[in-house]
Every structure is written in structure tokens, then in C-alpha cells.
């Protein structure tokens, strides 16, 4: 298993998030790999992690979900992978005392690579689907709490995420009402909704 740290949009390494390349065993029957092994992954994360919930979404091409996070006292760490299709997966550091606060990073996750993304607590997370019927699966370290869930606007100019070019215009990207009306980083700061 190989592990790689993520760099943010300024070329600095983020403290915590990791790209995980599992050992995939292939033969004439297909393939096999461990997508979760507590002992191995606790060693990778350099801490004990307890996942309490598994989530899965299926999205058509051009759907953006996020940038979601959950406030204290129930922030969520996430282990993300794509089961089918492909996504542009993006995270934003919302840890106000971090040297990489308000910076973002991205990775392409797709079925054929089987790579996983570990997103520790304190980051907003979202993804843009690049193929039809994309299935994304992720484990979380805390249960979903509706009253603590927040969304950061993915198009906030202060964050400045650079998205891949699609065959759709920005107005054709499909988003939920909640995500279309998500908060700017400035609003989150004013409301004390960062970490």
C-alpha cells in the first residue's frame, strides 16, 4: 500500500489528508483489495480511527455535491472512494489555526485506480462527477447531525477552486438548493463556523 500527502493550491503539503493507493490483486477472475483494515489504516492515519457510518451516493454527469462539513462537537473524518465512474474530489482546510487555512486541494478518484482519499476532521469536502452513474462511497467518524451540517460555497472567489472544464456551463452544473445557497468563507468566519 502506498500513501501520498496532498499539496494545496499553493504547493504546500496539507497536514492530515492522504491519498491511499491500496494493493490490488488482479488475475483472470478480476481483482481484490482491502478497502478497510483497522490496524493498517490506524497506522497510516497515525491515530486510532473509529468509523460509525457508511454513505453512498450515485450521481449523473455534471453533479456537484458539497462542500460539506460538520461542526464540533461531531466533526466528520471521511475515507472516500469511487466504486463506479469518476469524480473531481476537492477539500478545503477550515482549521483556523492551520498554516494552510482556507487553501484547497483536489484529486481525481475513479473506479479503475481504486485510490482512496482520507479527509480528517476540519475540512470541507465536495466532488464534481465526470461520468454518468458515478457511485461514491465513504466512511465517516461521526454520525450525521442535520443541525451541525454546513456547506461552503464551492465558487467562493476567496477560496478560488479551479474546476476541470466540462461540456457544461457553470449554470448547467447540477446542485441541490442547499448547496447552491451555501455560505461564503467570510460568512462562516463571522458565524464562528470554522474549526
Which are the catalytic amino acids? 68, 138
CA distance 24 to 117: 16
**C-beta of residue 6 within 8 angstroms of C-beta of residue 107:** yes
CA distance 106 to 63: 16
Virtual CA dihedral for 136, 2, 47, 194, nearest 10 degrees? -50
Beta-sheet strands, E only, within 2-85: 2-7, 13-21, 25-27, 30-32, 53-59, 64-70, 78-84
Amino acid at each position: 500500500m502506498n500513501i501520498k500527502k496532498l499539496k494545496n493550491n499553493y504547493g504546500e503539503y496539507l497536514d492530515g489528508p492522504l491519498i491511499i493507493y491500496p494493493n490490488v490483486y488482479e488475475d483472470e477472475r478480476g481483482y481484490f483489495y482491502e478497502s478497510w483494515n483497522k490496524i493498517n489504516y490506524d497506522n497510516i492515519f497515525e491515530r486510532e480511527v473509529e468509523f460509525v457510518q457508511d454513505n453512498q451516493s450515485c450521481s449523473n454527469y455534471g453533479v456537484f455535491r458539497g462542500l460539506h462539513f460538520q461542526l464540533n462537537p461531531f466533526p466528520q473524518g471521511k475515507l472516500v472512494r469511487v466504486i463506479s465512474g469518476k469524480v473531481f474530489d476537492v477539500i478545503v482546510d477550515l482549521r483556523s489555526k492551520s498554516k494552510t487555512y482556507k487553501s484547497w486541494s483536489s484529486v481525481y478518484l475513479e473506479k479503475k485506480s481504486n485510490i482512496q482519499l482520507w479527509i480528517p476532521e476540519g475540512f470541507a469536502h465536495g466532488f464534481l462527477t465526470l461520468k454518468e452513474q458515478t457511485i461514491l462511497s465513504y466512511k465517516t467518524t461521526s454520525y450525521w447531525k442535520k443541525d451541525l451540517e454546513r456547506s461552503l460555497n464551492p465558487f467562493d472567489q476567496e477560496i478560488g477552486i479551479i474546476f476541470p472544464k466540462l461540456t457544461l456551463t457553470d449554470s448547467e452544473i447540477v446542485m441541490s438548493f442547499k448547496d447552491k445557497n451555501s455560505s461564503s468563507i467570510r460568512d462562516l468566519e463571522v458565524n464562528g463556523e470554522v474549526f
